[in-house]
């Protein structure tokens, strides 16, 4: 900012000098002197012409001498001074120069304050921190400007998402909840948005997930039963209202979805253990635990399921980033190498989540009779879907693995090709 004003001051000084200097030096010449000079020049030209005519025989000597005498008479009559023209300084030009020296800077500053924007000089990196593929605004001024734009053009889901995430980052949860409320009106079928809305709403209301946040989480899970954030928050909401059976169910499903190396996996397991202890202390709780144990796989079965899970990493080729947007849906799925094309396990994410670790297992089956563990050879596909459906469409971008066996670990899939 300081550099800008220094440059502006120098440019303004140069402009003042360019305009003022000619006016300051400007002089006028007496009209009378100018007229005499013009007449003298005319008479001299006529004398020269007469000499030329005499030399070429067009005039005789007598005519030439008579013409010269006439020119001398005219010279005495028409030219009162043969001195050079005298320049007379003029005071009004200097006054105008002084007036402009004052008016130009004042007018420039006034015009800039009306039409310019000093905020445009601030580097964008100072106002924006990138997170989850979107710019999180950390400047109050920039947030106000975004609010004003959304007031004029409210049908802008990307703007409301940026606003909601920015307010959450700044712990202004009331404003974040308001932004998410508008966002889910525009995009009602996105599970993660309902989850973020529930989180912001709860943080703004004493950090309780009971009531409206629970409704939002139920909506999220109805859209995507495997949304890990919604499962985690739903388990917390269950614990808050004392529904330990539901909390155990949500968190055990979450554990099945997470890769073994997930850093907070043990914390979630501890939550399940605590929920079981609280349930056992309730009247009839032990019977409910026994029923849960019958519904859940045994520890040995859980080990077998974990062994059958496919894990790896999905990333997007830099060459294809211009073809997708952060909100595009990403499907990571396993299908049989030979046989039905129906996916055996599906994980739904978004481009903004890439690169990411993934895990596919039987809990992600779309149909009970078609599970990952029921086939000897499978192929894993990671696809950015423009239509929002798992089936490939022309223009989608994707990456595939080689033919592998269930239980393969450490796959590295790069989304690097376009579906024709």
* CA–CA distance, 252 with 295 (Å, rounded to integer): 12
How does pLDDT run across 52-69, given as a tens digit for each residue?
A: 777 777 777 777 788 777
Are 238 and 251 within 8 A, CB to CB?
no
Q: How confident is the model at residue 131 (pLDDT cuts 50, 70, 90)?
A: very low
Close Cβ partners of 77 (under 8 Å, ≥ 6 residues apart): none
Choose the most confident range, by mean pLDDT, from 63-67, 93-97, 128-132, 153-157.
153-157
pLDDT digits (tens, 9 = 90+) for 29-44: 445 555 666 667 776 7
The residues with which 411 forms a beta bridge, in sequence order, are 312
Backbone φ, ψ for residue 72 (5° rounding): -65, -40
Is residue 191 one of the residues assigned to a domain?
no
Tokens of 280: 């056992």
Q: Which of 63, 85, 118 finishes a domain?
A: 118
265 within some domain: no
With a CB cutoff of 8 Å and minimum separation 6, the contacts of 97 are 19, 20, 21, 23, 24
Residues spanned by the domain of 25: 2-118
Range scoring the smallest mean pLDDT among 4-13, 116-125, 221-230, 409-418: 116-125
Contact 183, 171 (CB under 8 A): no
Q: What average pLDDT does this structure show over 377-384?
A: 94
The answer to whether residue 163 is domain-embedded is: no
Residue range 343-376, pLDDT digits in tens = 888 898 999 999 999 999 887 876 655 778 888 8
- Asked if the structure places residue 275 within a domain, the reply is no
Lowest mean pLDDT among 1-5, 264-268, 358-362, 373-377: 1-5
Q: Which residue has the higher pLDDT, 361 or 108?
A: 361
Q: Which two tokens stand for residue 106?
A: 């004042």
pLDDT tier at 128 (50, 70, 90 boundaries)? very low
pLDDT at residue number 300 = 41
Q: Are the C-beta atoms of residues 314 and 383 closer than 8 Å to each other? A: no
End-to-end, the C-alpha distance of the chain in Å comes to 50
Q: Which of 68, 93, 118 is the last residue of a domain?
A: 118
**Assigned domain for 41 exists:** yes
Q: What is the Cα Rg of the chain in Å?
A: 43
> Is 210 part of a structural domain of the chain?
no
Q: Specify the range with the lowest mean pLDDT, choosing from 181-185, 283-287, 381-385.
A: 283-287
Q: Please report which confidence band the pLDDT of residue 135 belongs to, taking 50, 70 and 90 as the band edges.
A: low
Q: Write the pLDDT tens digit of every residue in 5-32.
A: 677 777 877 777 777 677 666 554 445 5
- Domain boundary residue among 100, 118, 136? 118
Please check whether residue 156 lies inside any domain of the structure.
no
**Position of tokens 């049989």?**
336
Q: Is residue 127 part of a domain?
A: no
Question: If pLDDT is split at 50, 70 and 90, which confidence band does 197 have?
Answer: very high
Number of domain units in the chain: 2
pLDDT value for 303: 42
pTM confidence score? 0.46
pLDDT recorded at residue 123: 43
């Amino acid at each position: 900012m300081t550099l800008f004003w220094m440059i502006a001051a120098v440019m303004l000084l140069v402009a003042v000098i360019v305009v003022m200097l000619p006016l300051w030096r400007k002089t006028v010449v007496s009209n009378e002197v100018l007229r005499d000079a013009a007449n003298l020049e005319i008479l001299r030209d006529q004398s020269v012409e007469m000499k030329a005519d005499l030399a070429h025989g067009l005039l005789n000597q007598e005519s030439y001498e008579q013409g010269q005498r006439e020119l001398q008479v005219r010279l005495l009559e028409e030219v009162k001074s043969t001195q050079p023209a005298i320049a007379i300084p003029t005071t009004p030009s200097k006054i105008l120069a002084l007036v402009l020296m004052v008016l130009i800077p004042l007018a420039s500053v006034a015009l800039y304050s009306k039409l310019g924007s000093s905020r445009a000089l601030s580097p964008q990196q100072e106002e924006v921190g990138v997170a989850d593929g979107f710019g999180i605004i950390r400047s109050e001024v920039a947030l106000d400007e975004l609010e004003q734009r959304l007031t004029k053009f409210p049908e802008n889901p990307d703007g409301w998402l940026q606003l909601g995430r920015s307010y959450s980052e700044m712990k202004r949860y009331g404003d974040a909840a308001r932004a998410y409320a508008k966002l889910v009106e525009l995009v009602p079928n996105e599970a993660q948005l309902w989850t973020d809305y529930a989180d912001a709403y709860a943080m703004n209301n004493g950090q309780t997930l009971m009531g409206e946040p629970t409704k939002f989480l139920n909506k999220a899970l109805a859209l995507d039963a495997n949304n890990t954030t919604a499962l985690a928050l739903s388990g917390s909401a269950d614990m808050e209202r004392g529904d330990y059976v539901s909390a155990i169910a949500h968190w055990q499903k979450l554990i099945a979805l997470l890769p073994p190396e997930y850093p907070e996996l043990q914390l979630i397991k501890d939550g399940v253990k605590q929920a079981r202890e609280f349930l056992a202390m309730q009247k009839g709780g032990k019977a409910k635990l026994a029923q849960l144990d019958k519904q859940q796989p045994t520890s040995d079965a859980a080990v077998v399921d974990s062994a059958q899970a496919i894990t790896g990493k999905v990333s997007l080729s830099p060459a294809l980033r211009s073809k997708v947007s952060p909100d595009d849906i990403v499907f990571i799925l396993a299908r049989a190498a030979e046989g039905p094309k129906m996916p055996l396990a599906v994980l739904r994410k978004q481009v903004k989540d890439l690169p990411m670790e993934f895990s596919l297992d039987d809990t992600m089956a779309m149909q009970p009779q078609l599970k990952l563990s029921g086939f000897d050879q499978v192929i894993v596909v990671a696809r950015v879907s423009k239509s929002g459906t798992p089936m490939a469409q022309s223009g989608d971008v994707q990456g595939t693995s080689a033919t592998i066996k269930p239980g393969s670990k450490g796959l590295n899939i790069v989304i690097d090709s376009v579906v024709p």
